[in-house]
Amino acid sequence: MSGIVDQLLNGVVKGALAEVLTKTGIRKTRRTRRTKSTGSLAGGIVGSVLEAAINAAVKPKPAKKQVSKRRTAAARSRQRYR
């Protein structure tokens, strides 16, 4: 009787170990290939400097005028009675 129980336990333990070991095996990860840079200067310090220089060479937008917004008569009267 003990022999049958022993065999049963050994079979279960061997199966579990085999399954665990196959799952924890080394898996190959996919490596992404790096493409060679085409020499574009976008990004980084050099890119930001060049972008600023190019934007300065283009005709700059004129500054927006500051507009003073007059209060409405109702708003002025409300403010007066506070």
Structure tokens at 40: 């574009």
**pLDDT for the residue 27:** 62
- The amino acid that residue 1 corresponds to is M
Per-residue pLDDT of the chain (82 residues; tens, 9 = 90+): 778 878 877 888 888 777 777 766 666 677 777 777 665 555 677 777 788 788 777 777 788 888 888 888 888 888 777 6
**What pLDDT is recorded for position 26?**
61
Contacts of residues 45-51 at CB distance under 8 Å and 24 or more positions apart, as own/partner, are: none
Rounded-to-integer distance, Cα 77 and Cα 75, Å = 5
Residue recorded with tokens 């022993």? 6
Tell me, what's the pLDDT at 21? Answer: 74
Other beta carbons less than 10 A from residue 55's beta carbon:
9
Q: How far is CA 22 from the centre of its chain?
A: 34
